[in-house]
Structure 1
């Protein structure tokens, strides 16, 4: 669907919100941030012999966005990207809307036939329409990257909306968290999170586990759209022992475990066509989803304090992901998972972060944690604090979604 711009939507856009909740996105900043991501990817020495077709679910943010940009520039992919974004109205559009506009421009520049759909990936109608598009336009799919981080999911087959819960299991968990005041001042806060009940745990698995990923792969198979050697990957995270109570040992961890068991089942389903399903355990990143998890913002600041510029970007990790996804024999761990987090979970790094975690105080925050970097990266998710952008200048906010019928 095309969303034509209104006649008077140019204005100065400033950050609006409280803490980690931001209500405005800057179009020029979001577009510039995509250009900076693209600049991290070197083009291949030779063009691909055949353009592979990829379906990226969650292509407008985080690792899904980075994987789309990397696939376009380095691997020459055609295909479809799916995001679920809000157009401009009284406020600017969501950041993913503007990032998709910029990514579509990269695809056009590179001569890639890559289509972007703005739709709920959980909905059956989205699956049906996307499969129609893939069949009519490309005839099949080589790769499916599943990178969805959603707070809720409505199951189209039951009509029930499931809400994820960011909670520990079994017992309350107390941790320290990094919070920001409206003026950008950071502070340490101790928070206690009550444990999830069984219903909350089950709902989180329904939202963030492997059920929807499996439905996508099954739908593609039933329509005969899986090419020989088809590969699919769902993105996951383990994280540090410092955050395990609220993450890997909590409700989210239960969902990630379900994702990993789904990969095993899907691989059995795909074996007859030489296909394979994998999970990729990526390293820490600043994302809108992770900032909502108590303890994670502080942990990432400390991790950056230890690593400095050695902290790999989402694009750098996505380059490694594509290398593994296209390899004859992916480098996986004993559980069959691609591991892109070894840099983060190495013993020396984790020991250094743990020392800082134990010793940090309000007085030593700026010494031990890279708070300015974190704040700039977080604001950059919404297009603010991006180098090379004039934030005093009016900017058009009502940009049209890329036309899916254009080639």
Structure 2
């Protein structure tokens, strides 16, 4: 037993420990927020899905929405750290344990593997599990955010960077001082070099997604009508210099080109489809690393309130389209657009005005700082309603077993 009271300790938006009970409650609340739809008569009729990046952010939303709404069974892949004597496990470890428990209680066969999704070894492990346990794969959701990737073919290690392309970027950022007071600061980021662009595309572009689909197709595991979606983001013009027009944007452009290539191949191979799903802004562990996103999401929440569409609601819509409940709707670039609620001119014009007007003295009136703080803390299981943080909790929770 490793019970202790866990006190939130953080460096900026990163927390040193995670709270198991809080993380579990977050997952339970996500599940409860999903509107289920009628299920088939037997488990053999349930769609088989693979979610790569299943423990956090939109990948977690895809997993929970897939289970609670679409009734999927299958495999989730994540890369999380186990608890130690000095530290809790990562938040994704506890979220995965909670997701597995909910799936088990619902009678759904969902297995979770912990390891490097970029490696060929993980692809083989997943392929074996699908072949032996499920026999086919109907859907693949790709949602991986990582700082580096080792190319299995060349052994080259690629390192991603968040930088603009072509010119120095200056963007407004939201930060909090030691007393928790919000401050508006300016972040200055120098442009990326050519090698940094190549490296970022090597990590966050479509190369690994394509390797997954090619590998599973080579093992004849793709069902007729197989569909796959890689999760993406376009974002506001306010953060374009650091995102869509920067190194990450180059990677997303590569991801979208990969979708078009895979779509043509899958149509011929199994009557399948490949798309990117462009999702809306959200507070996630990966998005908080992007300068300007913290301020932007706080402003967005103040403008829209509950009109912000949650990741789990967006992914419920995606599952409806992938499973044929609704037609698969794409834009001219072959992308499913789940971000239209965010990018209307009416919304963006108001946010742009607030962005320009925000100062350290006024930001608390223009942005929803309480919601933002709670959302960041909830990524690690803190500030979750209904959890008593004065009580010691067990931190040594095992990874879900087969």
CA distance in structure 2 between the aligned counterparts of 1:276 and 1:240, rounded to whole angstroms: 28
Show the counterpart of 1:170: 166
Show the counterpart of 2:381: 383
CA distance in structure 2 between the aligned counterparts of 1:13 and 1:255, rounded to whole angstroms: 38
Q: 1:80 aligns with which of 75, 93, 104?
A: 75
CA distance in structure 2 between the aligned counterparts of 1:287 and 1:373, rounded to whole angstroms: 13
| Alignment of structure 1 residues 249-328 onto 2, 5 Å | 249-272=245-268, 273-327=270-324
CA distance in structure 2 between the aligned counterparts of 1:41 and 1:360, rounded to whole angstroms: 35
TM-score w.r.t. length of structure 1: 0.96
- The answer on whether the counterparts of 2:183 and 2:359 sit within 8 Å (CA) in structure 1 is no
Q: Measure how far apart 1:181 and its partner are.
A: 2.5
Show the counterpart of 2:59: 64
TM-score w.r.t. length of structure 2: 0.97
* 1:391 alignment partner, SS class: coil
Evaluate the alpha carbon distance shift between residue 350 and residue 309 of structure 1 in structure 2; reply closer, same or farther with a 3 A threshold: same
Q: 1:329 aligns with which of 320, 327, 330?
A: 327
Q: Measure how far apart 1:403 and its partner are.
A: 0.3
Structure 1 unaligned residues grouped into runs of 5+ = 1-6
1:33 aligns with 2:30: no
* 2:158 alignment partner, SS class: strand
For each residue in 1:102-159, what CA deviation from the matched residue of structure 2 results, as whole angstroms up to 9, or x when unmatched? Answer: 0001110111111000111001100011101100110110000000011111112222
CA distance in structure 2 between the aligned counterparts of 1:333 and 1:212, rounded to whole angstroms: 24
Q: Measure how far apart 1:184 and its partner are.
A: 2.4
Q: Measure how far apart 1:46 and its partner are.
A: 4.1
CA distance in structure 2 between the aligned counterparts of 1:357 and 1:55, rounded to whole angstroms: 39
- The answer on whether the counterparts of 2:182 and 2:364 sit within 8 Å (CA) in structure 1 is no
For each residue in 1:318-360, what CA deviation from the matched residue of structure 2 results, as whole angstroms up to 9, or x when unmatched? Answer: 1111122123731111111000000000010000100101111
> Which of structure 1's runs of 4+ aligned residues deviate more than 6 A?
none
- The answer on whether the counterparts of 2:182 and 2:360 sit within 8 Å (CA) in structure 1 is no
* 2:69 alignment partner, SS class: helix
Q: 1:351 aligns with which of 334, 349, 352?
A: 349
Show the counterpart of 2:228: 232
1:248 aligns with 2:241: no
CA distance in structure 1 between the aligned counterparts of 2:188 and 2:41, rounded to whole angstroms: 52
How many residue pairs align between the two structures?
Answer: 397
Show the counterpart of 1:199: 195
Show the counterpart of 1:211: 207
Evaluate the alpha carbon distance shift between residue 268 and residue 41 of structure 1 in structure 2; reply closer, same or farther with a 3 A threshold: same
1:122 aligns with 2:115: no
Q: After superposing the two structures, state which structure 1 stretch, 286-295 or 40-49, moved more.
A: 40-49
